[in-house]
Amino acid sequence: MENYLIPGFRFYPTEEELVSFYLNTKLEDGRHDLKQEMDQIIPILDIYEFNPWDLPRYAGEVCKRDKEQWFFFIARQESEARGGRPKRLTTTGYWKATGSPSHVYSSTHKTIGLKKTMVFYNGRAPHGTKTEWKMNEYKAIHPSSSSSATPVFRLRQEFSLCRIYRKSKTLRSFDRRPQPRELEIAQPAAKAQAATAELPSIANEPNPTSKAPLTETMLGESSRTIAETSNELIVEAMRDACEPMWDWELLNWF
């Protein structure tokens, strides 16, 4: 599989795909051939036996060269099976949950999973030092057969799926996109509105060389000046927005 990792190829599934396909398939009985293929993409690993910066080397084949995110299946711990809390300690620190768990929805707006976000801290609680390493833990759920109007969800605990990533102050590679063309249109239009808002205050100010009040004729001329200036700015903004980003005739296609 590693031979197929051409430049630009990424494994970047949506949350719906992670839960509805990968996690649910892992939890289902049968389909062993598909599960073997999935283990090459998302391996089973007890991530709490490793520090987060050591995890990328154990990632699946399609994520080994990814520098931003890695995926793992985690089997239920014995403490969880007995009704206790999971142990999230590593040799140098611990994972701490942040915020409240949130639901994962399908494209048809059905609740299909639960997501919990965690941050890795160096040291031991409560004096740990927060790091840039974060994790999203996904668990699948299925509604009960209750006939009540409010559905009751039950977690499927056999496996959870974790996405490990590093928080960065810059945009991740899959978020780096050109500025939308709408922003380039909105900026000149905003300038036009600002200029229009400033012009009436200037027109209503008294003439510094004369104490005489403004006449109706003068006010009419000021209003026309405001309208003409506003129209010119808007037309200029639309003209700039319609200009092509490149010259098609200069592009060398072949």
Q: What is the pLDDT along the chain (254 residues), one digit of tens a residue?
A: 445 567 777 788 999 999 999 999 999 888 888 988 898 899 999 999 999 999 999 999 888 778 889 999 999 888 777 777 888 999 999 999 998 999 999 999 999 999 999 999 999 998 999 999 999 999 999 766 555 566 677 888 889 999 999 887 665 544 544 444 444 544 555 555 655 555 554 444 455 444 455 455 554 555 556 566 656 666 565 555 554 444 444 445 44
Of 111, 165, 118, 168, whose CA–CA distance to 140 is shortest? 111
DSSP code of 83?
T
Of 98, 101, 96, 102, whose CA–CA distance to 121 is shortest? 96
Strand order across the 111-122 sheet: 69-75, 153-166, 129-143, 111-122, 93-105
Q: What is the pTM of this model?
A: 0.63
Dist. CA 40–CA 66, nearest whole Å: 15
Which two structure tokens, joined as six digits, stand for 248? 């098609």
